[in-house]
Every structure is written in structure tokens, then in C-alpha cells.
Amino acid sequence: MAKLKVGILISGRGSNMAALIEAARSPGYPGEIACVVSNKADAAGLAIAAAAGIPTVTVSHRAYPDRESFDRDVSAALEKHGVEFVVLAGFLRIFSNWFPQHWAGRMINIHPSLLPSFKGLHVQQQALDAGVRLSGCTVHFVIPDLDAGPIIAQAAVPVLEGDDEAALTARILRQEHRLYPEVVRWFGEGRVSESGGKVAVRGLAPGATLLFSGEA
């Protein structure tokens, strides 16, 4: 079976991108990283991707008068490299409606909270301020509404006494690096379906799409 051609969008260091690149090195992994696109020329993740031999593209949002024209050129860069599936890995741009509609069902994001709780930015601090006992990360389809697409999988971590934003962020990030490559694997294997806002993964019980970690 041909491997799924994945395009990754980043704005910064790209730690989730690096986890996906590492996973894709395995001969049995059903996806390959076709390109990495950033809206920032100085994004540290571009050097990581280039060192791995992956084509990189910079499309600066500052060069465009509106979001949709930027989005269309990002999409053109992805399609030029044969991308079939888009993965957001710390891409700090809000899309026009056009982009998620164009890539509907073929684009996912990872968000550092247990959605639908704590959308937007600084979500770890939001979780701490709310006094929750569990936090985590969510992989979801991207739709025009921010952080609102159908949930594919989640990983939960404990919120510990004495946690600050940095400590909780680091604990969640370790689970992001586990969860994201696994979800992309499911797509590469053609096992993910969505209907009525509910996602199923063929061969997995619904509960198997939730990871728990007791790590401190």
C-alpha cells in the first residue's frame, strides 16, 4: 500500500513535527512527510526538517493582504509536494473558512487540553485556574470554528499539587508526542471515519482512543 503523503504546518520549534518525522522513519509506518511549511522563516523546526531531508517551504503571512490569499498559497505549496493529508503542529495562524473547507476531512490539529474544555491560548494556565484534576491533549479534525472539530483521540494526564504552567505544559507535551504519530498512523491505515461529529477508528474500541498517563 502506498504511504499517506503528509504535510506539516509549523510556526515554531515543531516538537510534534519532530515526533512525526521520527515515527515516519520506521519502514512499517504508513505515512511519509512530504513537506513542512511555515509562516515564519526563522521557525526552528524548519532546520530540523531540512536536516531530515524533508522539503521545507516558507510562506510569510505578512506578504498577504488577507487570510484567504495566504491560505490559498499555503495550500498550493502543499499540493505541489503531493500532500494528501495536513497536520498542524504549532501553526499559529487562524485560517479563513476556505482552508479547512478545502481540506475537510484531511486536516487535523493537536490541542493541549481535553476539548471541549479550555480552547484558545494559554490553556494549561486556564486548566490550573479552574482547579481541574485532569488535563491533557486532544487530536481533532480542523473545521472553520476554532478548536471545535470532531474529536479523534485524547491523552489525559494528572494535574499535580504545585504544578505551574510550565510543568503541566511539559507533562502534556510528552503525551502529545505519543498520541499524534499514532493518530496519523490510523489515517495512513485508512481506519478513521467520521459521521455526525463522531469519530470511529476501525479495529479499536471507543475507549482505546483515550490514553491515560500517571506520570509526574
Whether residue 102 lies in the annotated active site = no
Cell numbers linked to 51: 536536516
Residue reference for cell 519502514? 27
Residues contacting residue 103 through CB under 8 Å, at least 6 positions apart: 75, 86, 142
Distance, CA of 7 to CA of 124 (rounded, Å):
27
Q: What is the DSSP letter of 207?
A: G
DSSP structure string for 149-194: SPEEEEEEEEPPTT--HHHHHHHHHHHHHHHHHHHHHHHHTT-EEE
Distance, CA of 214 to CA of 216 (rounded, Å):
7
Helix (H, G, I), strand (E, B) or coil at 22: helix
Catalytic residue from among 111, 122, 140, 177: 111
Residue 72: phi and psi, rounded to 5, are -65, -35
Catalytic residues: 111
